[in-house]
Structure 1
Amino acid sequence: MRASRPKVAVAAIAVAALAVAGCAESDREEGSSGSKKDTLVFGVAGDPKVLDPSLASDGESLRVARQVFETLIRAEDGGTKPSPGLAESWTPDSTGTVWTFKLRSGVKFHDGTDFNAEAVCVNFNRWYNAKGLMQSPDVTAYWQDVMGGYAQNESPDLGESLFKSCTATDPTTVDLAFTRVSSKIPAALMLPSFSIHSPKALEEYKASDVTGTAEDIKYPSYALEHPTGTGPFKFKAWDVANKTLTIERNEDYWGDKAKLKTLIFKTISDENARKQALRSGDIQGYDLVGPADVEPLKGEGFNMLTRPAFNILYLAINQSGNPKLADLKVRQAIAHALNRQALVDSKLPPGAQVAVNFFPDTVEGWNGDVTKYDYNPEKAKQLLAEAGASNLTLKFHYPTEVTRPYMPNPKDLFELLSADLKAVGITIEAIPLKWSPDYLNATTSGKNHDLHFLGWTGDYGDGYNFIGTFFDRKKDEWGFTNAALFEQFKDADSTADPAARTEKYKAINKTIMDFLPGVPISHSPPAIVLGKDVTGVTASPLTDERFATAEFKS
């Protein structure tokens, strides 16, 4: 979720036809009874990029997908552990490479067709057999993060696919086979990118016909106008001009029906504007509440939900951009120069913590017995001198026009960190860039960046989802090759026993903090706020809030 991804998919959306007058509905509209409000408008910081979660990597697209689509496995409500979704149960065979899923019966897609084992296989085969631009990391980022490759790889950068085959043994039983044991299975199947779509809709609206180039992606109509899942809400309209996306209750939902009739996501990019819209009643909730607004809004009676900290803000050091950064002493100097506690105390919400590892202590494998880098400017100066880098100049990228759960005000954070670095004699060249696509493209590819900060909100409750995403192979963001570290990851990922794998994660965390490819900064508990009369929503560490249970107090 939510979170930064290796690449940014740039949607070329020409969908004027989606501007539907119904998007202007207000929360003041009464239900058929004439007394109960049943439309909720929720403020979001940015537009979704695409409505097909298979092709999405941005948090706003996935927020919508979580209401419209369902996965075989879902995260427990308010937590990170796997729980039943479209599958009621799942078990591995003796090798740990074939998983059998027992599916729910009586489930239908929004187009009225049946959900069954064959539908599951249609979806997995669609992803596995992707061709052309569908193999670009700009398009299918999560498939590549989890599965690695495809049936026929078209790029030498792609590895062997973790996924092997899907077999429908009967209408409610499906076997998913994998090429090896992996820590990612089955937990990664909770990701919205593995949502199950209607095979009929996929075919009718040519869902895999992604065209254009990686810089100018042209999505098919399925991904912009016809997303078809099994969830408690179904797509109604996307009014791009008015920055609203409307979904409505699925009256034929297999489980408890949504209590709201209509849910509207309204893009309000400015944080203060979201706050004012809440106070005026134009919206009934919003995400990414500024740390300074948490207590005042709570004091006014608004329903403030604080997510558990399940994220990381880090300072990345690119070793391929500047040869001095390949020197461990220089990286250690940078770490000792940063007053991370002051940043946490002054710029992050209550409950934020200085990071010791690249994932929070709520994740198995966290290791408190690693090399720590206390705030020590004099030691930083000494290390720079020993490395012959006392006159070091670094390009420091930071993002604009964005708020993330781990990064409430990027410019403020940049100013604090750069001041710390300047205080030990490092000259900083500031490079502000618009978050999407400029900043993400600049910092996750190429050699033009020395320092930048990014972060991650976990997708599921396994340590590999954090540190493996960053460091399990050579990546342009970090610009290093460390064969021994990469081998540690490979060994841990293929360890079937969770307890043994946890110990290997602890060892990897120690290796990472000795090698110091970057500096883990902090973990933040981001907040989501709802109207004074809105109840029923549970905060999720995965940003997996489910609005089907939301309702207005009578």
Structure 2
Amino acid sequence: MSRAPSTRRGGTRGLRRILAVGIALTAAASLAGCAQSERGAGGGEGGTLTFGAAGAPDLFDPFYASDGETFRVTRQMMEGLVNFKPGSVEVEPALAESWEHSPDGKTWTFKLRSGVKFHDGTDFNSDAVCKNFQRWYTQTGAGQNNALSYYWIENFGGFADGKAPSLFQNCENPDPTTAVVHLTRATSKFPDLLGLPSFSMQSPTAMEQYKANDVKAQGDSFVYPEYAKAHPTGTGPFKFDSYDQSNGTIKMVRNDQYWGDKAKVQELIFRIIPDETVRKQELESGSIDAYDFPNAADLKALRDAGNNVEVRDPFNIMYLGITQKNNPALQNLKVRQALAYAVDRETLVKANMPEGASVATQFYPDNVDGYAPDVQQYPHDPAKAKQLLAEAGASNLTLNFYWPTEVTRPYMPDPQGIYNALAEDLREAGITVNPVSKPWNGGYIDDIDNAKADIFLLGWTGDYNTPDNFIGTFFGTPTNRFYTAASPWGEQLAEQLRAADSEPDEAKRTAMYQDINRKLLSEYLPAVPLSHSPPAIVTSPRVQGLVPSPLTAEEFASVSVSDQ
């Protein structure tokens, strides 16, 4: 996706949540105790951390965002009810100390931290929680556009107007420290999805004062309200200070009233530096202290110079997408299987991906629940590819192969190099390739979504650790970038994914996802899984305390910068 340039992974296999009869999530409660003991009243140390960002945030209201650079910034000043443990994809308490659910998995009761305030002094309590949920649920007009409410639509579905089904039903606040969220069905992704930046708690006072919902469509873009541009207000360890667009600098300051451990630096600066080579030069000159997604070819030199290069665990997938909407040949399973046999994934990983990358055999990593060890394999076999094409009457196949420019993704560190390698593989199998390249934010994603490509490079870095966040996102609707409702199995696959996500019994749900994964590789094959890639983040020797996140969701409050 990937919509956000962000990602993941921890160590254990899946977040095993058991929707058992009326049992509270005791693990969450014990984590809450740990969180309280670890987040003491410690103060900050001072100084400034300057981070070289690859791009500018679209805005500072994470609910309307779907890009990783916005989330990187807003994550420092906003928090959700739950969070992900540093360096992991496991859920831990944040603004909620603990939670429990009803036997049917539809009612979730959150016990909230007391004494927490938003940056504007507004109390964080159950009323604020419900006002945030209601704000998300009652979007109207431009607010319902998928480009704005992307994560709500992907995770909760419809809005209060009832035009489409919604996972959310309502929110109750029986007392200031208790919020009760009612869902319309059980889902494997709750409460994990509440750790997404889009569902951060924001000050109801500030949102009302600065008209947070007053977003307007203007042609193909949007006009954002004052709240999203200059007054984002959360509960986190940093507070928004300013955004100087003339020099691409975002400034935050330490929140000295933060409920937990105070940030170790007084100021956090994001400098927008789109060119990776320039980011490296700025780090070497001391103008910035850290940057993300260094070129794999630079890692040794960066380490030799004394910098800290942290390689995150890969929690992502890159795939070769296949659009069946325009090219009749691609509607034939044998042709799609020929593409899978044609590509040499082993060589691709060795020659084009960073150290630690691995060949993908299905559409999410092996520590996500439902991973099937016995899916159909597609070893590199050009002869087999040619045979299948001949059997399908497609020996003279010509494909428009789209690849993106002006972008680096955690799962796709070198788009052009990856395209070149795969195009050569396809030509070896007798397929004619017409290359089409466009800037990621300059037409590429739009063309992919509008089914203009025959085949294309894309991927996803997981938002949280559930199968639905991967294959549910890719294939969960019968009309998407791969196929239409006219596909004989499109609605069938979508229904299988809905049923698996709604299954409250863990063992049954795991078996259902394993069966789906087998069918995805043998009967459906809407895309070809290629690789899992570990993205790196680099800091200068002056930086200490950074915990790399497999979700590329680093929090900078723990980071200090020495004077040397």
* TM-score normalised according to structure 1 size: 0.92
1:439 paired with 2:444, answer yes
1:88 paired with 2:103, answer no
SS, match of residue 428 in structure 1: strand
Q: Which amino acid aligns with 1:285?
A: A
1:520 counterpart residue number: 529
1:372 counterpart residue number: 377
Deviations 1:340-392 (A, max 9, x none): 11111011111100001100112121112001111001111111111111111
Aligned pair partner of 1:409 in 408, 411, 414 = 414
8 Å CA contact 1:69–1:197 kept in 2: the answer is yes
Aligned pair partner of 1:102 in 81, 99, 111 = 111
CA distance in 2, matches of 1:437, 1:524: 25
8 Å CA contact 2:478–2:491 kept in 1: the answer is no
1:46 counterpart residue number: 55
CA distance in 1, matches of 2:218, 2:339: 38
CA distance in 1, matches of 2:513, 2:266: 45
Aligned pair partner of 1:57 in 55, 66, 69 = 66
1:219 paired with 2:259, answer no
Q: Which amino acid aligns with 1:81?
A: E
2:197 counterpart residue number: 192
1:508 paired with 2:516, answer yes
Aligned pair partner of 2:132 in 123, 138, 142 = 123
Q: 1:470–1:551: structure 2 CA closer, same or farther, 3 Å change rule? A: same
Aligned pair partner of 2:153 in 132, 138, 144 = 144
Aligned pair partner of 2:214 in 209, 212, 217 = 209
Aligned pair partner of 2:402 in 394, 397, 401 = 397
Alignment of 1:229-268 (within 5 A): 229-268=234-273
CA distance in 2, matches of 1:151, 1:184: 21
CA distance in 2, matches of 1:475, 1:221: 36
Percent identity between the aligned chains?
A: 50
Q: Which amino acid aligns with 2:261?
A: D
Q: Which consecutive aligned stretches of 4+ in structure 1 deviate over 6 angstroms post-superposition?
A: none
8 Å CA contact 1:313–1:453 kept in 2: the answer is yes
Deviations 1:243-262 (A, max 9, x none): 11111111110100000111
2:22 counterpart residue number: none
Alignment of 1:475-514 (within 5 A): 475-480=479-484, 481=487, 482-514=490-522
8 Å CA contact 2:215–2:224 kept in 1: the answer is yes
Deviation at 1:153, TM superposition (A): 4.3
Q: 1:468–1:384: structure 2 CA closer, same or farther, 3 Å change rule? A: same
1:354 paired with 2:362, answer no
Deviation at 1:393, TM superposition (A): 1.1
1:68 paired with 2:72, answer no
2:560 counterpart residue number: 551
2:35 counterpart residue number: none
Q: 1:454–1:372: structure 2 CA closer, same or farther, 3 Å change rule? A: same
Deviations 1:509-541 (A, max 9, x none): 111111110000100111000111201010111
8 Å CA contact 1:401–1:435 kept in 2: the answer is yes
Which deviates further from its counterpart, 263-272 or 306-315?
A: 263-272
Deviations 1:9-35 (A, max 9, x none): xxxxxxxxxxxxxxxxxxxxxxxxxxx
8 Å CA contact 1:319–1:450 kept in 2: the answer is yes
1:460 paired with 2:448, answer no
CA distance in 1, matches of 2:503, 2:217: 40
CA distance in 2, matches of 1:167, 1:312: 38
SS, match of residue 200 in structure 1: helix
SS, match of residue 293 in structure 1: helix
SS, match of residue 43 in structure 1: strand
Deviations 1:213-256 (A, max 9, x none): 46121111111111000000011111112111111111110100
For the aligned residues, what is the CA RMSD?
A: 1.4
Which deviates further from its counterpart, 263-272 or 252-261?
A: 263-272
1:383 counterpart residue number: 388
8 Å CA contact 2:232–2:240 kept in 1: the answer is yes
SS, match of residue 380 in structure 2: coil
Which deviates further from its counterpart, 358-367 or 201-210?
A: 358-367
CA distance in 2, matches of 1:341, 1:500: 33
Q: Which amino acid aligns with 1:461?
A: N
Deviation at 1:202, TM superposition (A): 0.5
Deviations 1:312-357 (A, max 9, x none): 0111000002111000011011111101111110111111000011
Deviation at 1:491, TM superposition (A): 1.3
CA distance in 1, matches of 2:374, 2:254: 50
8 Å CA contact 2:342–2:381 kept in 1: the answer is yes
Aligned pair partner of 1:421 in 412, 426, 429 = 426
CA distance in 2, matches of 1:130, 1:439: 28
CA distance in 2, matches of 1:349, 1:233: 33
Q: Which amino acid aligns with 1:275?
A: K
- Give aligned pairs, total: 519
Deviation at 1:48, TM superposition (A): 0.8
Deviation at 1:5, TM superposition (A): 6.1
Deviations 1:140-165 (A, max 9, x none): 000000001001045xxxx3000000
CA distance in 2, matches of 1:82, 1:304: 26
Deviations 1:172-193 (A, max 9, x none): 0000000011112111111110
8 Å CA contact 1:5–1:141 kept in 2: the answer is no
CA distance in 2, matches of 1:215, 1:532: 44
CA distance in 2, matches of 1:486, 1:220: 36
CA distance in 2, matches of 1:152, 1:537: 44
Q: 1:533–1:5: structure 2 CA closer, same or farther, 3 Å change rule? A: closer
Deviation at 1:437, TM superposition (A): 4.2
8 Å CA contact 1:291–1:347 kept in 2: the answer is no
1:473 counterpart residue number: 477
Deviations 1:373-432 (A, max 9, x none): 110011111111111111111111111100110111111111111111111121111111
SS, match of residue 549 in structure 1: coil
SS, match of residue 298 in structure 2: helix
Deviation at 1:299, TM superposition (A): 2.1
SS, match of residue 246 in structure 1: strand
8 Å CA contact 1:150–1:161 kept in 2: the answer is yes
CA distance in 2, matches of 1:438, 1:43: 25
SS, match of residue 547 in structure 1: coil
Deviation at 1:114, TM superposition (A): 0.6
CA distance in 2, matches of 1:58, 1:535: 27
CA distance in 1, matches of 2:244, 2:418: 34
CA distance in 2, matches of 1:66, 1:410: 28
8 Å CA contact 2:57–2:69 kept in 1: the answer is yes
CA distance in 2, matches of 1:497, 1:226: 43
CA distance in 1, matches of 2:512, 2:295: 37
SS, match of residue 76 in structure 2: helix
Deviation at 1:447, TM superposition (A): 2.9
SS, match of residue 68 in structure 1: coil
Return 5+ residue gaps in structure 1 as ranges.
7-35
